[in-house]
Structure 1
Amino acid sequence: MASSMCGMFPGQQPPGSLPPPGPGGPGQPGLLTGTPGNRGANNTLVDELEASFEACFASLVSQDYVNGTDQEEIRTGVDQCIQKFLDVARQTECFFLQKRLQLSVQKPEQVEKEDASELKNELQRKEMLIQKHLAKIHHWQQVLEDINVQHKKPTELPQGPLAFLEQASANLPAPMKPN
Protein backbone atom coordinates (compact mmCIF):
# COMPACT_ATOMS: atom_id res chain seq x y z
CA MET A 1 0.00 0.00 0.00
CA ALA A 2 2.79 2.41 0.88
CA SER A 3 4.47 1.92 -2.46
CA SER A 4 1.22 2.69 -4.26
CA MET A 5 1.10 6.09 -2.55
CA CYS A 6 4.51 7.19 -3.73
CA GLY A 7 3.16 9.07 -6.75
CA MET A 8 0.49 10.87 -4.76
CA PHE A 9 2.74 13.63 -3.52
CA PRO A 10 4.30 16.45 -5.54
CA GLY A 11 7.90 15.89 -6.58
CA GLN A 12 7.75 12.10 -6.31
CA GLN A 13 8.15 9.49 -8.99
CA PRO A 14 6.06 6.37 -9.44
CA PRO A 15 7.53 3.12 -8.10
CA GLY A 16 10.22 1.65 -10.28
CA SER A 17 11.54 4.94 -11.62
CA LEU A 18 14.71 6.38 -10.23
CA PRO A 19 14.50 9.87 -8.74
CA PRO A 20 16.28 12.74 -10.48
CA PRO A 21 19.52 13.99 -9.00
CA GLY A 22 18.85 16.31 -6.10
CA PRO A 23 20.91 18.98 -4.41
CA GLY A 24 22.78 16.32 -2.42
CA GLY A 25 24.37 14.93 -5.58
CA PRO A 26 23.34 12.37 -8.17
CA GLY A 27 20.60 10.11 -6.88
CA GLN A 28 20.38 11.98 -3.57
CA PRO A 29 16.91 13.54 -3.38
CA GLY A 30 16.03 15.72 -0.46
CA LEU A 31 15.57 13.77 2.72
CA LEU A 32 18.22 15.80 4.46
CA THR A 33 18.61 18.64 1.98
CA GLY A 34 16.07 21.15 0.77
CA THR A 35 14.44 20.46 -2.59
CA PRO A 36 12.23 22.58 -4.74
CA GLY A 37 8.57 21.68 -4.80
CA ASN A 38 6.50 21.14 -1.72
CA ARG A 39 9.33 21.92 0.76
CA GLY A 40 10.97 25.27 1.42
CA ALA A 41 14.61 25.97 0.64
CA ASN A 42 15.77 25.41 4.22
CA ASN A 43 13.09 22.91 5.21
CA THR A 44 13.88 19.20 4.82
CA LEU A 45 11.58 16.21 4.87
CA VAL A 46 12.93 15.23 8.28
CA ASP A 47 12.32 18.75 9.57
CA GLU A 48 8.78 18.66 8.23
CA LEU A 49 8.14 15.30 9.87
CA GLU A 50 9.43 16.60 13.18
CA ALA A 51 7.45 19.84 12.91
CA SER A 52 4.23 18.04 12.01
CA PHE A 53 4.68 15.65 14.93
CA GLU A 54 5.23 18.57 17.28
CA ALA A 55 2.13 20.27 15.84
CA CYS A 56 0.08 17.12 16.51
CA PHE A 57 1.30 17.00 20.06
CA ALA A 58 0.80 20.74 20.58
CA SER A 59 -2.74 20.59 19.25
CA LEU A 60 -3.61 17.95 21.82
CA VAL A 61 -2.27 19.93 24.79
CA SER A 62 -3.00 23.47 23.60
CA GLN A 63 -4.93 25.74 25.97
CA ASP A 64 -7.05 26.87 23.03
CA TYR A 65 -8.39 23.35 22.69
CA VAL A 66 -8.72 22.80 26.43
CA ASN A 67 -10.73 26.00 26.93
CA GLY A 68 -12.56 25.74 23.60
CA THR A 69 -16.24 25.04 23.56
CA ASP A 70 -16.72 24.10 19.92
CA GLN A 71 -15.90 20.39 19.80
CA GLU A 72 -16.20 20.27 16.02
CA GLU A 73 -13.56 23.00 15.62
CA ILE A 74 -11.24 21.16 17.99
CA ARG A 75 -11.75 17.89 16.13
CA THR A 76 -11.11 19.55 12.76
CA GLY A 77 -7.88 21.16 13.97
CA VAL A 78 -6.55 17.93 15.46
CA ASP A 79 -7.56 15.97 12.35
CA GLN A 80 -5.71 18.43 10.11
CA CYS A 81 -2.54 18.17 12.19
CA ILE A 82 -2.68 14.38 12.20
CA GLN A 83 -3.36 14.26 8.46
CA LYS A 84 -0.35 16.49 7.74
CA PHE A 85 1.82 14.25 9.92
CA LEU A 86 0.59 11.15 8.09
CA ASP A 87 1.23 12.77 4.70
CA VAL A 88 4.80 13.69 5.62
CA ALA A 89 5.33 10.22 7.11
CA ARG A 90 4.19 8.67 3.82
CA GLN A 91 6.60 10.91 1.92
CA THR A 92 9.42 9.83 4.23
CA GLU A 93 8.50 6.18 3.82
CA CYS A 94 8.40 6.63 0.05
CA PHE A 95 11.87 8.19 0.13
CA PHE A 96 13.28 5.18 1.95
CA LEU A 97 11.47 2.77 -0.36
CA GLN A 98 13.02 4.55 -3.34
CA LYS A 99 16.46 4.32 -1.74
CA ARG A 100 15.90 0.64 -1.06
CA LEU A 101 14.92 0.12 -4.69
CA GLN A 102 18.03 1.95 -5.87
CA LEU A 103 20.19 -0.18 -3.61
CA SER A 104 18.61 -3.40 -4.85
CA VAL A 105 19.22 -2.36 -8.47
CA GLN A 106 22.77 -1.10 -7.97
CA LYS A 107 23.98 -3.69 -5.44
CA PRO A 108 21.80 -6.83 -5.46
CA GLU A 109 24.43 -8.74 -3.48
CA GLN A 110 23.97 -6.31 -0.58
CA VAL A 111 20.27 -7.13 -0.40
CA GLU A 112 21.09 -10.85 -0.42
CA LYS A 113 23.62 -10.34 2.40
CA GLU A 114 21.01 -8.49 4.45
CA ASP A 115 18.45 -11.23 3.83
CA ALA A 116 20.94 -13.92 4.84
CA SER A 117 21.84 -11.96 7.96
CA GLU A 118 18.17 -11.57 8.89
CA LEU A 119 17.62 -15.31 8.42
CA LYS A 120 20.64 -16.13 10.62
CA ASN A 121 19.34 -13.81 13.34
CA GLU A 122 15.92 -15.42 13.13
CA LEU A 123 17.45 -18.89 13.43
CA GLN A 124 19.45 -17.82 16.49
CA ARG A 125 16.36 -16.33 18.09
CA LYS A 126 14.36 -19.49 17.46
CA GLU A 127 17.19 -21.69 18.73
CA MET A 128 17.26 -19.70 21.97
CA LEU A 129 13.49 -20.08 22.24
CA ILE A 130 13.79 -23.85 21.74
CA GLN A 131 16.46 -24.05 24.46
CA LYS A 132 14.23 -22.07 26.81
CA HIS A 133 11.31 -24.43 26.18
CA LEU A 134 13.53 -27.49 26.61
CA ALA A 135 14.68 -26.16 29.98
CA LYS A 136 11.05 -25.70 31.04
CA ILE A 137 10.17 -29.20 29.84
CA HIS A 138 13.11 -30.64 31.79
CA HIS A 139 12.02 -28.75 34.91
CA TRP A 140 8.44 -30.03 34.72
CA GLN A 141 9.60 -33.58 33.98
CA GLN A 142 11.69 -33.41 37.15
CA VAL A 143 8.68 -32.14 39.10
CA LEU A 144 6.57 -35.02 37.78
CA GLU A 145 9.29 -37.55 38.67
CA ASP A 146 9.47 -36.15 42.20
CA ILE A 147 5.70 -36.47 42.55
CA ASN A 148 5.78 -40.05 41.25
CA VAL A 149 8.55 -40.97 43.70
CA GLN A 150 6.56 -39.52 46.61
CA HIS A 151 3.47 -41.51 45.63
CA LYS A 152 5.45 -44.76 45.38
CA LYS A 153 6.95 -44.47 48.88
CA PRO A 154 3.74 -45.26 50.84
CA THR A 155 3.18 -48.47 48.87
CA GLU A 156 6.72 -49.66 49.58
CA LEU A 157 6.27 -49.39 53.36
CA PRO A 158 5.28 -52.53 55.25
CA GLN A 159 1.59 -53.07 55.76
CA GLY A 160 0.37 -53.66 59.27
CA PRO A 161 -1.43 -52.13 62.20
CA LEU A 162 1.55 -50.01 63.29
CA ALA A 163 2.85 -49.08 59.81
CA PHE A 164 1.10 -45.71 59.83
CA LEU A 165 2.58 -44.79 63.21
CA GLU A 166 6.05 -45.89 62.13
CA GLN A 167 5.81 -43.75 59.01
CA ALA A 168 4.54 -40.71 60.94
CA SER A 169 7.25 -41.00 63.60
CA ALA A 170 9.94 -41.29 60.93
CA ASN A 171 8.90 -37.89 59.54
CA LEU A 172 9.06 -36.14 62.94
CA PRO A 173 12.14 -34.03 63.65
CA ALA A 174 14.52 -35.21 66.33
CA PRO A 175 13.98 -33.66 69.77
CA MET A 176 16.23 -30.77 70.64
CA LYS A 177 18.91 -31.40 73.23
CA PRO A 178 18.99 -29.03 76.21
CA ASN A 179 22.18 -27.01 76.62
Structure 2
Amino acid sequence: MAGAGAEKNLAEEMENAFKGCLSNLVGQEHFNIVDNMEVKTGVEQAVNKFLEVAKETETYFLQKRLLLSNSHPNQLVREECEELQNELRRKDLLIQKQMRRLQDWQRVFQSSEANAPPPPPPQQQMQQQMSQIPRAQFMANPSHGNFQNQAHQSPLAHLAQAASNIGGGFER
Protein backbone atom coordinates (compact mmCIF):
# COMPACT_ATOMS: atom_id res chain seq x y z
CA MET A 1 0.00 0.00 0.00
CA ALA A 2 3.02 2.28 0.25
CA GLY A 3 3.00 2.51 -3.55
CA ALA A 4 -0.59 3.71 -3.62
CA GLY A 5 0.20 6.39 -1.03
CA ALA A 6 3.17 7.59 -3.08
CA GLU A 7 0.98 7.78 -6.19
CA LYS A 8 -1.64 9.79 -4.31
CA ASN A 9 0.98 12.11 -2.81
CA LEU A 10 2.61 12.70 -6.19
CA ALA A 11 -0.74 13.37 -7.79
CA GLU A 12 -1.71 15.77 -5.01
CA GLU A 13 1.69 17.48 -5.10
CA MET A 14 1.41 17.86 -8.87
CA GLU A 15 -2.08 19.31 -8.57
CA ASN A 16 -1.05 21.71 -5.80
CA ALA A 17 2.03 22.83 -7.73
CA PHE A 18 -0.12 23.49 -10.79
CA LYS A 19 -2.64 25.42 -8.70
CA GLY A 20 0.28 27.42 -7.31
CA CYS A 21 1.37 28.34 -10.82
CA LEU A 22 -2.13 29.43 -11.74
CA SER A 23 -2.72 31.34 -8.54
CA ASN A 24 0.37 33.43 -9.21
CA LEU A 25 -1.02 34.36 -12.58
CA VAL A 26 -4.66 35.01 -11.71
CA GLY A 27 -4.65 35.68 -7.95
CA GLN A 28 -6.03 39.05 -6.86
CA GLU A 29 -3.30 39.61 -4.27
CA HIS A 30 -0.71 39.73 -7.06
CA PHE A 31 -2.45 42.53 -8.93
CA ASN A 32 -2.02 44.96 -6.04
CA ILE A 33 1.73 44.37 -5.69
CA VAL A 34 3.83 47.26 -6.87
CA ASP A 35 7.14 45.39 -6.92
CA ASN A 36 7.45 43.43 -10.17
CA MET A 37 10.47 41.54 -8.88
CA GLU A 38 8.35 40.08 -6.08
CA VAL A 39 5.79 38.83 -8.60
CA LYS A 40 8.52 37.47 -10.87
CA THR A 41 10.18 35.64 -7.98
CA GLY A 42 6.86 34.14 -6.88
CA VAL A 43 6.08 32.91 -10.39
CA GLU A 44 9.57 31.45 -10.83
CA GLN A 45 9.32 29.61 -7.51
CA ALA A 46 5.90 28.18 -8.41
CA VAL A 47 7.06 27.04 -11.85
CA ASN A 48 10.24 25.50 -10.42
CA LYS A 49 8.16 23.62 -7.83
CA PHE A 50 5.87 22.35 -10.57
CA LEU A 51 8.82 21.21 -12.69
CA GLU A 52 10.38 19.48 -9.69
CA VAL A 53 7.17 17.57 -8.94
CA ALA A 54 6.80 16.72 -12.65
CA LYS A 55 10.30 15.22 -12.68
CA GLU A 56 9.51 13.20 -9.55
CA THR A 57 6.32 11.93 -11.20
CA GLU A 58 8.20 11.02 -14.36
CA THR A 59 10.82 9.18 -12.31
CA TYR A 60 8.10 7.29 -10.47
CA PHE A 61 6.48 6.11 -13.70
CA LEU A 62 9.83 5.21 -15.25
CA GLN A 63 10.63 3.07 -12.20
CA LYS A 64 7.24 1.35 -12.51
CA ARG A 65 7.88 0.78 -16.20
CA LEU A 66 11.28 -0.76 -15.40
CA LEU A 67 9.70 -3.08 -12.83
CA LEU A 68 7.06 -4.10 -15.34
CA SER A 69 9.66 -4.79 -18.03
CA ASN A 70 11.67 -6.96 -15.63
CA SER A 71 8.69 -8.92 -14.34
CA HIS A 72 6.72 -9.17 -17.63
CA PRO A 73 9.04 -8.75 -20.64
CA ASN A 74 6.36 -10.11 -23.00
CA GLN A 75 4.06 -7.24 -22.03
CA LEU A 76 6.43 -4.68 -23.55
CA VAL A 77 6.68 -6.64 -26.78
CA ARG A 78 2.88 -6.92 -26.88
CA GLU A 79 2.49 -3.16 -26.33
CA GLU A 80 5.00 -2.37 -29.07
CA CYS A 81 3.16 -4.71 -31.45
CA GLU A 82 -0.13 -2.96 -30.65
CA GLU A 83 1.45 0.45 -31.26
CA LEU A 84 2.84 -0.74 -34.61
CA GLN A 85 -0.54 -2.18 -35.60
CA ASN A 86 -2.24 1.10 -34.72
CA GLU A 87 0.32 2.98 -36.78
CA LEU A 88 -0.28 0.64 -39.72
CA ARG A 89 -4.04 1.20 -39.44
CA ARG A 90 -3.57 4.98 -39.46
CA LYS A 91 -1.29 4.75 -42.48
CA ASP A 92 -3.69 2.43 -44.30
CA LEU A 93 -6.49 4.94 -43.74
CA LEU A 94 -4.27 7.71 -45.04
CA ILE A 95 -3.41 5.64 -48.13
CA GLN A 96 -7.10 4.96 -48.76
CA LYS A 97 -7.88 8.66 -48.45
CA GLN A 98 -5.11 9.52 -50.92
CA MET A 99 -6.30 6.81 -53.31
CA ARG A 100 -9.81 8.29 -53.28
CA ARG A 101 -8.35 11.71 -54.06
CA LEU A 102 -6.24 10.23 -56.84
CA GLN A 103 -9.29 8.53 -58.36
CA ASP A 104 -11.24 11.79 -58.20
CA TRP A 105 -8.45 13.63 -60.00
CA GLN A 106 -8.12 10.84 -62.57
CA ARG A 107 -11.83 11.16 -63.33
CA VAL A 108 -11.44 14.92 -63.72
CA PHE A 109 -8.44 14.45 -65.98
CA GLN A 110 -10.17 11.81 -68.12
CA SER A 111 -13.27 13.93 -68.50
CA SER A 112 -11.16 16.93 -69.50
CA GLU A 113 -9.37 14.83 -72.11
CA ALA A 114 -12.73 13.93 -73.61
CA ASN A 115 -13.43 17.68 -73.98
CA ALA A 116 -16.33 17.41 -71.63
CA PRO A 117 -16.29 19.93 -68.82
CA PRO A 118 -15.82 17.95 -65.61
CA PRO A 119 -18.24 18.41 -62.78
CA PRO A 120 -16.10 20.18 -60.19
CA PRO A 121 -16.00 18.85 -56.66
CA PRO A 122 -17.90 21.11 -54.23
CA GLN A 123 -14.79 22.52 -52.55
CA GLN A 124 -13.36 23.55 -55.91
CA GLN A 125 -16.44 25.33 -57.28
CA MET A 126 -15.61 28.52 -55.41
CA GLN A 127 -11.98 28.38 -56.52
CA GLN A 128 -12.98 27.95 -60.14
CA GLN A 129 -15.46 30.81 -59.96
CA MET A 130 -12.81 33.08 -58.49
CA SER A 131 -10.17 32.02 -61.00
CA GLN A 132 -12.47 32.61 -64.01
CA ILE A 133 -12.67 36.36 -63.39
CA PRO A 134 -8.95 37.15 -63.66
CA ARG A 135 -8.48 34.86 -66.67
CA ALA A 136 -11.28 36.55 -68.58
CA GLN A 137 -9.86 39.99 -67.78
CA PHE A 138 -6.37 38.83 -68.69
CA MET A 139 -7.45 37.42 -72.04
CA ALA A 140 -9.50 40.53 -72.82
CA ASN A 141 -6.50 42.82 -72.28
CA PRO A 142 -4.17 42.45 -75.28
CA SER A 143 -1.33 44.34 -73.61
CA HIS A 144 -0.59 41.33 -71.40
CA GLY A 145 0.21 39.08 -74.32
CA ASN A 146 -1.12 35.64 -75.07
CA PHE A 147 -2.26 33.86 -71.91
CA GLN A 148 -2.02 30.39 -73.40
CA ASN A 149 1.62 30.85 -74.39
CA GLN A 150 2.45 32.13 -70.92
CA ALA A 151 0.73 29.18 -69.28
CA HIS A 152 3.33 26.84 -70.77
CA GLN A 153 6.30 28.93 -69.60
CA SER A 154 8.24 28.21 -66.46
CA PRO A 155 7.56 30.50 -63.49
CA LEU A 156 10.95 32.17 -63.93
CA ALA A 157 10.31 32.81 -67.62
CA HIS A 158 6.88 34.19 -66.72
CA LEU A 159 8.50 36.52 -64.16
CA ALA A 160 11.05 37.69 -66.72
CA GLN A 161 8.26 38.32 -69.26
CA ALA A 162 6.21 40.23 -66.70
CA ALA A 163 9.22 42.34 -65.72
CA SER A 164 9.91 43.20 -69.37
CA ASN A 165 6.25 44.16 -69.86
CA ILE A 166 6.44 46.75 -67.10
CA GLY A 167 9.66 48.19 -68.43
CA GLY A 168 12.18 46.72 -66.03
CA GLY A 169 14.49 44.06 -67.31
CA PHE A 170 15.06 40.84 -65.45
CA GLU A 171 18.49 39.99 -66.71
CA ARG A 172 21.31 38.37 -64.77
Which of the residues 27, 37, 46 maps onto 1:62? 27
CA RMSD of aligned residues (A): 1.8
State the partner residue of 2:161.
Answer: none
- CA shift, 1:151, in A, is 6.6
Residues 121 and 95 of structure 1: is their aligned pair in 2 closer, same or farther, counting only changes over 3 Å?
A: same
Q: Which consecutive aligned stretches of 4+ in structure 1 deviate over 3 angstroms post-superposition?
A: none
Which of the residues 85, 90, 105 maps onto 1:120? 85
State the partner residue of 2:14.
Answer: 49
State the partner residue of 1:81.
Answer: 46
State the partner residue of 1:133.
Answer: 98
**Structure showing greater Rg:** 1
- CA shift, 1:67, in A, is 2.3
* In 1: Cα distance, 2:67 partner to 2:26 partner: 41
Which of the residues 20, 23, 29 maps onto 2:2? 23
Gaps spanning 5+ residues in structure 1: where? 1-21, 33-43, 153-179
* In 2: Cα distance, 1:98 partner to 1:29 partner: 16
- CA shift, 1:64, in A, is 2.2
Taking structure 1 as the reference length, what is the TM-score of the superposition?
0.61
- CA shift, 1:140, in A, is 1.1
Cα deviations across residues 27-83 of structure 1 (Å, max 9, x unaligned)?
x67213xxxxxxxxxxx1110000110111111001122222211111110111011
Higher helix share: 2
* In 1: Cα distance, 2:90 partner to 2:68 partner: 27
State the partner residue of 1:143.
Answer: 108
Structure 2 residue identity aligned to 1:30: A
1:109 equivalenced with 2:85 (yes/no): no
Taking structure 2 as the reference length, what is the TM-score of the superposition?
0.63
When structure 1 is superposed on structure 2, of 139-148 and 90-99 the one drifting more is: 139-148
* In 2: Cα distance, 1:140 partner to 1:67 partner: 63
* In 2: Cα distance, 1:65 partner to 1:132 partner: 52
Structure 2 residue identity aligned to 1:71: N
- CA shift, 1:142, in A, is 1.1
* In 2: Cα distance, 1:95 partner to 1:59 partner: 27
